[in-house]
Amino acid sequence: MEVHNIQTAIVPAEGEKARVRIKMELSKKSRIKLFMFLVILNIILRFQVVQNEIGWDSFLMHIMTNSLTEYGYARWWLHPLSVFELYPASYTSTMHFILSGIEQTTGLEMRWVIFLYCVFIGLLSMFTSYLMAGEIFDNDLFKLLVAFGFSTSPGVLGYTTWTIPTRGLLVVLAPLLVYLILKSRKSIKYVPLAILLALFLFATHHLFYFLIPAFFSVVILALAVKLRKLSFIKNLSFKKKALPEKYYTLCSIKNLSSGVALPLLLSRSRPVAFLNSLIAIFGFLAMYSIPFFTGRFIENSRYASIDMSYVRYTGLLIIPAIGGLFYMIFKHKKAFGEWFLLLTLILLTTFIYEQTYMKWFLPIFLVPFAGIGLLNVIKHTKKRRLALPLAALFMVLVICFSGYYQFIHFMSMPGSGKNPLNERYIEDSTYNTGRWMKSHIAAGNAVSNDALFGKRIFAASETAHMLTGSTVADQIYGFIRVNISKYKRYPLTDEEFWFTGYKGPDIGESAWESVHRCLKSEEFNISYVVENKKCSGRICWHHGNYPQFIQYTYEKDCIYDCGNIGIRKIR
């Protein structure tokens, strides 16, 4: 590794001789090489062993994108609030316009548009996290570690690999918004960019709400800087100064495990620094306790385990992240970006029980702590020759952890014992049936006996219209109409207002069920039935089994049969 700039500083340590610390920065050539390696690694990780699109919600997004191409406008926009999914039968929409635009301009098949889009935003995650890291701590190796950790974390990989849930785009662009927020403190010209990107992300997914603490952190710290002349704030430093050597003891895994780092650090810290550390710890405990005592921001149970899901989606980087977090809590003098990172994580702690969203979002702020932990271990390992090889070995283990969940864990292989009806990906027979429907079924609506399978067929066909259990999709294609009088707006103070806006019936599922239970195919102009034969003559969904309709269609003519799938014309 080439060294571009070497700065030598004499750092006196209490009770010890002065030491010489060398700060190394990577040369431009080294940065380019490492970035090229990271680009290749990210592309490889996003190749799958299956030939088609993967995911669950992804197929509804695919259907909505198809409708944009077919109709030329978003038919789920029934009200201005529909843009932000705060109105019935609506959905956040920015990603759909991007994909539809790419498809129409390139002429590529949508599944390949999705694949290339995911590779692109996967690579983009490297650069957004790199920019964010530079505003937190301006160190070349730290920025590369954060870019590596974020772009290859299981959470980011899961949403940027041949799948298009709207969360993926938000998670990738969130570090860019953090970068603009921090830049806005230095120059007002970044404020309009931050506002525009915030509105874009608000229209991308409701996960945007978890970025609000970042705005609060900047405001709070900016006020603290303005009030720095007060005695109890004067000792806080937002300047990027070299950290005394003694404080690096906390980053040592050996010291952390033995429990000697904390007493050593506290014994040598000034009272104000000790007070700041206690305030940070109290902040974490206070924010963690808010949902426990108020009952708000809780997804399932306040007593449910929350640790494993965060480890699963952050990966092995959770280990150095813990060391980096404790190091940052007890660090004597912190730069503004470091205070921002710590305060934002404190404020986010109140949402720790919202695992569905936080498990995807938390890596954005945990990975920088992991970068700090790894950087400290590299810098202060006694045998410096072993530092980089050990760090490289750990990063290989990080890739292996991510690769396991990326390629092996979710695969439904013969003999694996997994339910074949819940495979992660769309099978070739399903995809080929959808393409056959695109060519041979020009008119007439269809329905399937399997709810998820029906969405996948619908997405693959691109032009055939199918009744599904989705209120959004059924409203787009004219199967149902939304009567707003049947919905009730949540009060502004209710958590549900910020996620759905209105409370009302799920008319999509009701329509889908009515066909199978009450034989109401004429009401929805159903002409074709697509049967997933793996369901063994029953219907597959989460609210019961009503096989009357599918069994009734056995008397009709079969116009397509590929073994696993059959299509019958009933009208």
What the block records as the tokens of 364 is 């954005």
| DSSP helix, strand, coil percent of the chain (3-state; round to 5) | 60, 10, 30
pLDDT above 50 (res 131): yes
CA–CA gap between residue 8 and residue 68 (Å, rounded): 59
Distances (CA, A) of 476 to 33, 62, 180, 468, 470: 48, 13, 36, 11, 10
Determine contact, residues 409/423, Cβ cutoff 8 Å: no
Average pLDDT on 340-363 reads 88
What the block records as the tokens of 322 is 């813990």
CA–CA gap between residue 221 and residue 219 (Å, rounded): 6
Cβ neighbors of 527 (< 8 A, separation 6 or more) are 443, 444, 445, 446, 569, 570, 571
CA–CA gap between residue 554 and residue 146 (Å, rounded): 57
The helix (run of H) or strand (run of E) holding residue 529 is: strand 526-532
Closest CA to 454 of 510, 528, 544, 524: 528
Closest CA to 160 of 37, 260, 14, 46: 46
Which long-range contacts link 167-170 to residues 24+ away (Cβ below 8 Å)? 167/205, 167/207, 167/360, 168/95, 168/118, 168/121, 169/94, 169/95, 169/98, 169/121, 169/204, 169/205, 170/201, 170/204, 170/205, 170/207, 170/208
Determine contact, residues 356/158, Cβ cutoff 8 Å: no
Q: Is 369 exposed, middle or buried (0-12, 13-18, 19+ CB in 10 A)?
A: buried
Tell which wins on pLDDT, 49 or 567. Answer: 567
User: pTM of the full predicted structure?
Assistant: 0.84
Query: Which range (90-94, 288-292, 372-376, 541-545) has the least confidence?
Result: 541-545
pLDDT at site 31: 87
Closest CA to 530 of 543, 516, 514: 516
Average pLDDT on 530-545 reads 85
pLDDT band of 541, cuts 50, 70, 90: confident
CA–CA gap between residue 327 and residue 372 (Å, rounded): 8
Closest CA to 25 of 183, 175, 144: 144
Q: pLDDT tens digits for 211-264?
A: 999 999 999 988 888 776 554 444 544 444 444 544 444 444 444 434 444 444
CA–CA gap between residue 500 and residue 484 (Å, rounded): 14
CA–CA gap between residue 468 and residue 478 (Å, rounded): 12
CA–CA gap between residue 568 and residue 258 (Å, rounded): 69
Query: Which range (222-236, 356-370, 381-395) has the least confidence?
Result: 222-236
What phi and psi values does residue 151 have, to the nearest 5 degrees? -70, -25
pLDDT at site 304: 58
Q: pLDDT tens digits for 157-189?
A: 989 999 999 999 999 999 999 999 999 988 899
The per-residue pLDDT of the chain, averaged, comes to 83
pLDDT band of 271, cuts 50, 70, 90: low
Residue burial 325-335, b: 16+ Cβ < 10 Å; e: rest? bbbbbbbbbbb
Q: Is 224 exposed, middle or buried (0-12, 13-18, 19+ CB in 10 A)?
A: middle
pLDDT band of 412, cuts 50, 70, 90: very low
pLDDT > 90 fraction of the chain, expressed in percent and rounded: 48
What the block records as the tokens of 290 is 């808010």
SS3 10: strand
pLDDT > 70 fraction of the chain, expressed in percent and rounded: 83
Closest CA to 24 of 357, 378, 349: 378
Alpha helices in 260-300 (DSSP H): 261-268, 271-294
pLDDT above 70 (res 89): yes
pLDDT band of 353, cuts 50, 70, 90: confident
pLDDT band of 135, cuts 50, 70, 90: very high
What phi and psi values does residue 46 have, to the nearest 5 degrees? -100, 5
pLDDT band of 399, cuts 50, 70, 90: very high
CA–CA gap between residue 316 and residue 400 (Å, rounded): 10
Query: Which range (46-55, 184-193, 260-269, 369-378) has the least confidence?
Result: 260-269
Q: pLDDT tens digits for 116-128?
A: 999 999 999 999 9
